Amino acid sequence: MSETGDPTPTGPLKAASAFRTIGEVADDLDLPAHVLRFWESKFAQLKPLKRRGGRRYYRPEDIVLLRRIRQCLYQDGYTIRGVQKLLGVDAGRSAPTTDPATVPSLFPLDAGPHPVADGGRPPRPQIPAQRPRRRPPKPEPRAALEDIRRELLEARALLEGLMRRPRLP
C-alpha cells in the first residue's frame, strides 16, 4: 500500500485502479480466500463485483477496506462485531471517495451513460415489503404424543379387523 492508502498493484502488469481476483487479493493480504468470502458475509460494506460464474472482482476501494478490516482484526485486537460497529460509525468518514465516472467497469461495452456519472442519483432498487416470518407455534409435547398414540391405536384396530376377516378360498 502506498503512503496515501491506495492499494499497490500485485502484479507487474496491473494498474493500481485495476480489478483484482480473490486469489490476487488473498495473496496480497496474506490471507486465505475463504476468509475473504467469510468477511463478505459479515461486513455489508464489502461488495465485490461478481460475474456470471460467481467469480469475484475486487475494486481498489474494496482492497482498502479489506486492509482496514485485517488491521483492526489482527493487529488492533478488535472482534468482528467491534469492527462492524467501527465501520458503521466511520462509514462516511473513512470510505474513500471516488468519482464513479473514473472507476473502471467490468462491462465496457454497456450502452448508455452511467446514471451517477450524469450527475443524477442512481435508481433505487424496488424491494418488496416483506412481513417478518413467524415460526409456527410448537405443539405441546404431551398433546403431540397423545395424537400419535391415538393414530397408533386406530391403526392397530384396523389391522386386527383385517386379521379377523375370513379369507375367501
88: CATH: 1.10.1660.10
Quick one: which of 23, 69, 26 has its CA closest to 45?
69
Cβ neighbours of residue 104 under 8 Å, at least 6 residues apart? 17, 18, 19
Torsion of CA 43, 46, 50, 55, to 10 degrees: -80
In a domain, 150, yes or no: no
Order the strands of the 20-21 sheet from edge to edge: 20-21, 56-58, 49-50
Q: What is residue 93's predicted lDDT score, i.e. its pLDDT?
A: 47
pTM above 0.75, yes or no: no
Domains of the chain: total: 1
In a domain, 111, yes or no: no
* Structure confidence by residue, pLDDT tens digits, 115-154: 555 555 666 656 555 555 666 666 678 888 888 899 999 9
In a domain, 121, yes or no: no
In a domain, 79, yes or no: yes
Segments of the chain with pLDDT less than 70: 1-13, 89-139, 168-169
Q: What is residue 8's predicted lDDT score, i.e. its pLDDT?
A: 53
Whole domain around residue 42: which residue ranges? 20-94
In a domain, 55, yes or no: yes
In a domain, 72, yes or no: yes
